[in-house]
Amino acid sequence: MLQTFGATRLQILQKVIIPASIPTIVSAVKINVGLSWVGVIVGELMVSRAGIGYLIVYGSQVFRLDLVITSVIILAILATFMYQGVAYLEKKLMKWR
């Protein structure tokens, strides 16, 4: 039997377990944001007939460097916003940082 020293299981979960696991959860979210972008870009490059991945492929095939650069800049801006959103959540969730 688990000794809880006067605290209920719910109190232990709220006060000890969840706050201790927040750094691990935030790290996993950061890694998965990057992996999801790689998956989206590769998926669009492979099968899409529209979207940013298509613009990159089409621009490189017809030698339109402006399309390629614009598409890459848009992807970089979107990735930056997503990362900043995760960093904001990390700052709000982990109060000691």
The domain ranges of the chain are 29-91
Q: Contact 60/68 with Cβ under 8 angstroms?
A: yes
pLDDT score for 12: 85
Q: What is the pLDDT of residue 3?
A: 62
The pLDDT > 90 percentage for the chain reads 0
- HEC string of 6-62? CCCHHHHHHHHHHHHHHHHHHHHHHHHHHHHHHHHHHHHHHHCCCCHHHHHHHHHHC
| Cα gap 62→51, rounded to integer Å | 16
Average pLDDT in the 54-76 region?
78
Secondary structure of residue 87 in the 3-state scheme: helix
Mean pLDDT of the chain: 77
Least confident piece of the model among 19-28, 32-41, 45-54: 45-54
The pLDDT of residue 45: 65
Residue 97 to residue 93: CA distance in whole angstroms: 9
Report the pLDDT value the prediction gives residue 80, as an integer from 0 to 100: 82
Q: Residue 2 has what pLDDT?
A: 61
pLDDT, average across residues 68-80:
80
